[in-house]
Amino acid sequence: MPELPEVETIVSGLESVLPGLKIRDVWTDFEKYIKEPKSFGKFKKEIVGRKILGVERKGKNVLVHLSGNMTLLVHQKMTGHLLYGKWKEKKTPDGKTAWKSAIPGPLRDDPENRFIRLVFFLSSGFQLALCDMRKFAKVLLWPTDRLAELKDIGELGPDPFDKNLTLKKFKERLRGSRAIKQVLMDPKIIAGIGNIYADEILWAAGVHPAKKTDKLTAEEIKKIYSSIKPILRRAIKARGSSYIDYRDAFGRKGRYQEMHYAYQMTGTKCKKNDGGIIKKIKIGQRSAHFCPVHQKPPQIK
Ligand SMILES: [Zn+2]
C-alpha cells in the first residue's frame, strides 16, 4: 500500500500538472469506487466542469481541491496509484474498454500501469487516471470546508511532519499497551506510516517491533520519535518504495526499495554491521522485519 512517502511523491507530481485544469468528463468500469455521492451518475454530474485548484496529501489520502468548495478524495489503498498521462480507448475482444497509453515509456510499457479503472478527462487533453489492480481504492467527492466530517480525515492522527507533534505529544499518543509496530501503523495515532516505514523507523531507532508501548524507555521513545522524519524524508527523496506495484504520477518507479534497511530484507546482513541477520516475524496479522542484534527482543517474564 502506498504510504506517506509514496503518496507525497504522487501528490507533488500531480500538483505540478493539475492546478488550473478543468475536468471535462469521467469514465469508469468499476462504479463501486465512488462512495460519495452514492451513484456514479451523480458523481459525474457533480464533478464535470469543475476546475482543479490544488492537490494535497492528508495521511495516505490524496485530496484534489476543486472549484465551488468541492474536494475529490482518493485513498489508493492496496494497489492503487494515480497517473497523469494520455490514454487511447480500445475495445478488447470481449467488448470491454481498455486503455493504452499514447505516451511511450513506463505509462505504456510497465505492466503495473495497465490497470486503468477510472479516468478523468482534463482540459489539457491529458487525463488523470486511477490504476488499481486489486480494486480496493476509495473515491469520493465532499465539500472542502466539511472534510473533517469524513472519518478518513477527521479521525486521522497528526502528520509526522506536523510541527505541533512534539516529543511530549508523541509520547502521550503511545499510551496503552500494544506492540509499537502496530501503534506506528495506526492512522489514528500518527498518520501515513504503514508496514514498510514502521519497520524502517524501528530499525533506525533500535527498538524491537513487538515491544509493548508501556515497556518502552524514555530513551527508546525519543529514538523512535527522532527516527520518523529522517526515514520518511529519505524515502521521499528516493521517490518512494516500488517494492511491488507503487509508481509515481508519471508511471515511474521509486528507488527506496533499493535502500530498505529492514523491510523485506530477511536473511541479509544488518546494515549497521553488527553481525545481525534481518529476521521476519508476525505481529498480529502483519509481518515485521528487524535485526535481532541491535533491536533486542523484549524480555518475556
Ligand atoms: Zn543490527
Provide the residue ranges of all domains of the chain, joining segments of one domain with +.
Answer: 4-154, 167-290
What pTM was computed for the model?
0.94
With a pLDDT cut of 90, the percent of the chain lying above it is 90
Q: Which amino acids are annotated catalytic?
A: 2-3, 60, 286
- State in Å: Cα 243 to ligand 1 middle: 22
Residue with the three cell numbers 499497551: 177
- State in Å: Cα 151 to ligand 1 middle: 38
Q: State the DSSP code for 145.
A: G
pLDDT band at 300 (very low <50, low <70, confident <90, very high): low
What is the tens place of the pLDDT at every residue in 97-137?
Answer: 889 999 999 999 999 999 999 999 999 999 999 999 899 99
pLDDT tops 60 at residue 216? yes
- Residues with Cβ within 8 Å of residue 297, at least 6 apart in sequence: 208, 210
- State in Å: Cα 149 to ligand 1 middle: 43
What is the tens place of the pLDDT at every residue in 45-88?
Answer: 999 999 999 999 999 999 999 999 999 999 988 888 999 999 99
- State in Å: Cα 34 to ligand 1 middle: 45
- CA 59 to centroid of chain Cα atoms: 8
Q: What is the mean pLDDT of residues 161-182?
A: 96
Grid cell, residue 233, equals 524524508
Distance separating alpha carbons of residues 20 and 49, to the nearest angstrom: 12
Distance separating alpha carbons of residues 112 and 106, to the nearest angstrom: 9
Distance separating alpha carbons of residues 190 and 261, to the nearest angstrom: 21
pLDDT band at 160 (very low <50, low <70, confident <90, very high): very high
Distance separating alpha carbons of residues 164 and 159, to the nearest angstrom: 9
- CA 234 to centroid of chain Cα atoms: 15
- State in Å: Cα 224 to ligand 1 middle: 15
- Residues with Cβ within 8 Å of residue 62, at least 6 apart in sequence: 7, 10, 11, 14, 55, 56, 73, 74, 75, 76, 82
- What CATH code would you report for 167-290? 1.10.8.50
CB 182 within 8 A of CB 284: yes
Q: State the DSSP code for 51.
A: B
pLDDT tops 90 at residue 147? yes
CATH class of the structural domain 4-154: alpha beta
- State in Å: Cα 203 to ligand 1 middle: 8
Strand partners, 212: 179
Grid cell, residue 195, equals 508496514
pLDDT tops 60 at residue 143? yes
Pick from 158, 154, 137: nearest CA to 146: 154
pLDDT at 96: 87
pLDDT at 91: 87
pLDDT at 301: 52
What's the mean per-residue pLDDT of the chain?
95
- State in Å: Cα 254 to ligand 1 middle: 25
Higher pLDDT, 213 or 95: 213
- State in Å: Cα 274 to ligand 1 middle: 5
